[in-house]
Amino acid sequence: MTTQKSALLLNRTSAILIALTSFLINIPAQAACQNNLSTVSQVSASNKTNETGNIVEIAASNPNFKTLVTAVQAADLTETLSGDTKFTVFAPTDAAFAKLPKETLDKLLKPENKAALQQILTYHVVSGTVNSQSLKSGKAKTVEGNPVHVLVNQQNGIRINKSKVIQADIKASNGIIHVIDTVLIPPGF
């Protein structure tokens, strides 16, 4: 096969895969095992018109981030994540927070535990804007100070520690959001 024919075949195959992926992503979730696909579709649809908002505005406009927004407010991080400084946020959904014991989350949201909540939330934040194409396997230093472990794998997607990125590259005026399915807990916590 000639190089030109190989390139044409590759282009056609890529186009078919892109069309198939687009088709599959837009199929509504019909079973409980498709919760992540449903969350991805909801997150994506909710943010199409909000790309010019800041990180907090985008999160607040999305029904999948109610717990995250409540936690950001309780930790007094709203102003920081709404400012001009560029951040990458690994944003856990409400379903991710629901994996935590309810009493743990309730305890963290109390005013006397603000420092602990800040530590957990800033462990989800990296300085600068890092889109999914720029993520590399290895360690990434968080604003909290400890690194998260990033694993980029074509078969399994992107993982941050034990959490899976279920929606990447939600652009904000002051950075980017990658939606994750599990809350990240800093070492020694």
How many structural domains compose the chain?
Answer: 2
pLDDT value at 16 more than 90: no
Q: Do 49 and 26 lie in a common domain?
A: no
Q: Do 164 and 138 lie in a common domain?
A: yes
Q: Do 52 and 131 lie in a common domain?
A: yes
Q: Which domain holds residue 86?
A: 42-180
pLDDT value at 86 more than 80: yes
Q: Does 114 fall in a domain? A: yes
Question: Picking from 6-20, 52-66, 67-81, 125-139, which range would have the lowest pLDDT averaged per residue?
Answer: 6-20
Q: Does 187 fall in a domain? A: no
Q: Do 116 and 87 lie in a common domain?
A: yes
Amino acid at 104: T
pLDDT value, residue 24: 29
- Please identify which residue in the block is written with the tokens 């934040």: 125
DSSP string, 134-179: T--SEEEE-TTSSEEEEEEETTTEEEETTEEEEEEEEEETTEEEEE
Q: Do 62 and 131 lie in a common domain?
A: yes
Question: Picking from 21-30, 134-143, 153-162, 172-181, which range would have the lowest pLDDT averaged per residue?
Answer: 21-30
Q: Does 145 fall in a domain? A: yes
Percent of the chain with pLDDT over 90: 69
- Please identify which residue in the block is written with the tokens 């100070």: 145
pLDDT value at 69 more than 80: yes
Q: Do 68 and 129 lie in a common domain?
A: yes
pLDDT value, residue 92: 97
Q: Do 110 and 151 lie in a common domain?
A: yes
Residue 28 has what DSSP assignment?
A: P
Report the pLDDT averaged over residues 179-186: 97
Q: Do 116 and 169 lie in a common domain?
A: yes
Report the pLDDT averaged over residues 109-121: 96
DSSP string, 55-66: HHHHHHT-GGGH
3-state secondary structure at position 132: coil
Could you tell me which of 126, 105, 121 has the C-alpha nearest to residue 177? 126
Q: Do 116 and 175 lie in a common domain?
A: yes
Could you tell me which of 147, 76, 149 has the C-alpha nearest to residue 118? 76
Q: Do 15 and 74 lie in a common domain?
A: no
3-state secondary structure at position 125: strand
- Label residue 91 by pLDDT band (50, 70, 90): very high
Q: Does 46 fall in a domain? A: yes
